[in-house]
Chains A and B, each alone.
Chain A
Amino acid sequence: MPPQASTVKIRDVNIKLHRAGKGEPVLFLHGAGGLMQWLPFFDALADGYELLVPEHPGFGASDDPGFIRSVPDMAMFYLDFAEALDLRRVHLVGHSLGGWIAAEMLVRDRARFQSMTLLAPAGLRVEGVPAGDTFIWAPDEAIRNLFHDQRFAEALLALTPSEEQMDIALKNRFTATKLGWQPRWFDPDLEKWLHRVKLPALVVWGDDDKVMPPAYASLWRERLPDARLVMIEGSGHLPHVEKAEPVGRAVREFLKGAAR
């Protein structure tokens, strides 16, 4: 089913929201690159669920409110979002930055949620294992470093973005900088509260992730009270893109089992 786009207003902030499917809600939070296109992985999630994919404040076609200055602010905003839309029994899925936002939400208030799926999330630090420096990489280098299979990178690099797409990419990059530059892609206060996420959790990681090193995966599994880890062979930082089919299957199986 093709996605429907609309604009919802949450506390005076206009949010571009894409929806597809029917069923229990699945809220997908995108990564720092923004939502550049509708993915096959989304179709997998929309089958039997109502999938909601908002563009974060400061990203894409959404407003960029000055009061959001950090990922914890973003998390509070999405708790408002879930309340405003009266979402219940939500399966929360987040990729990278979106995974970080998801974890920050659920350590604060998990009342409206029933599971958490994290795809290569940011948010924690493993001492001595720095994340990839996405801010210093050249644009083509950054795209190559997203993938294990360089054919994905080649396909992206072959595209000529429109002026509008370039504007959005720049806007996304500014907001990603605001949220992720310092401390670099993590919140020093998050790890000690992860036991508060008392929900079934799935952590998915590509074994060749050059942005968030796979060494971070086991820390997430250890700190979350009820987490399963799935390592995806032959994938970089976008396992749901590079290995859409097996990742889609693993997430659907998890959601089915997690339903209360």
Chain B
Amino acid sequence: MKLISFHLMPYRQLDLEAAAKHRSAWVVLPNSLYDPVKGAEEYAAYIDFLVDCERLGFDGIGVNEHHQNAYGMMPAPNLIASALIQRTKTVKIAVLGRALPIVNDPVFIAEEYSMLDNLSKGRVICGFVRGIGAEYHSTGINPYFSHERFHEAHDLIIKAWTQPGPFSFDGQHFNRRYVNLWPRPYQTPHPPIWIPSQGSSETVQWAAHPDRKYPFLVTFSSSDLVTRYLNAYRDQARQYGYEPSEGQFGWACPVYVAETDERARQEAGRAIETLFNNFLRMPVEMLIPPGYTSQSSMKNFFKMRTAVGGRVNDADYLIGSGTALIGSPKTVRARIEEMRDKTGLGILLPMFQFGILSDELARRNIELFAAEVMPHLKK
């Protein structure tokens, strides 16, 4: 199993009480609540943390993109990736991912990924995402055209990476008289593309297609849903007439290990609650604006939400549902192995720092994981 240590870089110094007075920690949270002096220290600590993952034996380190929020301080994940490249030698650098629909020129994304691939001599993994719904509020890009823009941007980027330039590109949303990538990507034909997803059937069908076979990473879902989505991908691949490899199945989730289940729960409980209830808090209008999903998906979502009611994501629920893996090394390892048995999971993207979790606890967590969980998964 491949292990990618993943980081969101939350702004831990957020005044949670002040933030709670606003509609969300996204889009409309006043940036007067951000202190650059404290933020700069956060960046430094997080980059050190990720760099150290190489020494601990991880296959990769992962960052991602979100805009105008306290949940993740990486509107430009490529800048972090570039810093990580300079301070590591062998570890893969996964950007999970860039949000393709929300840019007005996807060639910039092709260029930047290509630069990172050259800078790292082929260590880059390129995530392609649509961004979450809030990104469409932040950037003003019309969510109704999110899927169209994603597919068109994807095709343009692949073409830019693989076809001799200059060529012209004639799209509905993107038009270029000259596409001619300098530098070309280091890896041939191009860097690996991974698809982080919340499991929508449209994405499953598209990612599993034989022309692509893109690794599919389910993020932040209960273990039931992760199982369902990964198996939906497998079923889809079989419908297409091929057997997917274990490297096509990924799962990204918060992980915390301590000596015992109780201690892990005690140390990480509050932090995991802040991730879901403070940093990720947003109304449905922000999370899934019209067109971000199909009308039928949106209708199902409303029905489901009514059925579930105003559920509070407390630590017991998050741990019990397997949304977060929190426990002793034995417990966490068993949960991961169970997922592997059920789905053929081949890529785990644990997030060792989440919410307000301190540097000290995050470090203890990752070292214990590397010592007592990783060797079993690497066998």
- Residues facing A in B110-157 (CB within 8 A) are 136-137, 140-145
- For A183-210 the 0/1 string (1 means CB < 8 A from B) is 1100000000000000000000000000
Given A136-B23, A136-B286, A177-B290, A182 and B140 contact (CB-CB distance below 8 Å): yes
Q: From B251-259, B291-299, B359-367, give the one contacting chain A.
A: B291-299
Query: Within the complex, what minimum Cβ distance (angstroms) separates B330 from chain A?
Result: 44
B27/A136 in contact, CB under 8 A: yes
Given A136-B285, A170-B299, A178 and B140 contact (CB-CB distance below 8 Å): no
Q: Is B283 an interface residue (CB 8 A)?
A: yes
Residue of A nearest to B294 (CB): A174
B137/A178 in contact, CB under 8 A: no
Looking at the complex, which one of B27, B141, B145, B285 makes contact with A138 (CB distance below 8 Å)? B285
Give A135 to B28 CA distance when docked, in angstroms. Answer: 13
Q: Is A167 an interface residue (CB 8 A)?
A: yes
B145: which A residues are within 8 A, CB to CB?
A: 178
A135/B144 in contact, CB under 8 A: no
Residue of A nearest to B282 (CB): A136
A136/B142 in contact, CB under 8 A: no
Q: Is B57 an interface residue (CB 8 A)?
A: no
B291: which A residues are within 8 A, CB to CB?
A: 174, 177-178
Looking at the complex, which one of A138, A167, A177 makes contact with B289 (CB distance below 8 Å)? A177
B142/A178 in contact, CB under 8 A: yes
Q: Is A171 an interface residue (CB 8 A)?
A: yes
Give A218 to B3 CA distance when docked, in angstroms. Answer: 61
Query: Within the complex, what minimum Cβ distance (angstroms) separates A133 from chain B?
Result: 8
A137: which B residues are within 8 A, CB to CB?
A: 285
B144/A170 in contact, CB under 8 A: no
- Residues facing B in A157-183 (CB within 8 A) are 166-167, 170-171, 173-174, 176-178, 181-183
B137/A177 in contact, CB under 8 A: no
A177/B144 in contact, CB under 8 A: yes
Interface residue total, chain A, C-beta cutoff 8 A: 17
B299/A167 in contact, CB under 8 A: yes
Query: Within the complex, what minimum Cβ distance (angstroms) separates B283 from chain A?
Result: 6
Query: Within the complex, what minimum Cβ distance (angstroms) separates B370 from chain A?
Result: 43
B283/A174 in contact, CB under 8 A: no
- Residues facing A in B274-322 (CB within 8 A) are 283, 285-286, 289-291, 295, 298-299
Query: Within the complex, what minimum Cβ distance (angstroms) separates B284 from chain A?
Result: 8
Looking at the complex, which one of A136, A138, A173, A184 makes contact with B290 (CB distance below 8 Å)? A173
- For B1-44 the 0/1 string (1 means CB < 8 A from A) is 00000000000000000000001000110000000000000000
Looking at the complex, which one of A138, A170, A181, A183 makes contact with B295 (CB distance below 8 Å)? A170
Residue of B nearest to A64 (CB): B295
Give A170 to B28 CA distance when docked, in angstroms. Answer: 25
Give A135 to B290 CA distance when docked, in angstroms. Answer: 9
Residue of B nearest to A184 (CB): B140
Query: Within the complex, what minimum Cβ distance (angstroms) separates A155 from chain B?
Result: 23
Give A174 to B144 CA distance when docked, in angstroms. Answer: 7
B295/A171 in contact, CB under 8 A: yes
Residue of B nearest to A170 (CB): B295
Instruction: Tell me the B residues contacting A by CB distance below 8 Å.
Output: 23, 27-28, 136-137, 140-145, 283, 285-286, 289-291, 295, 298-299
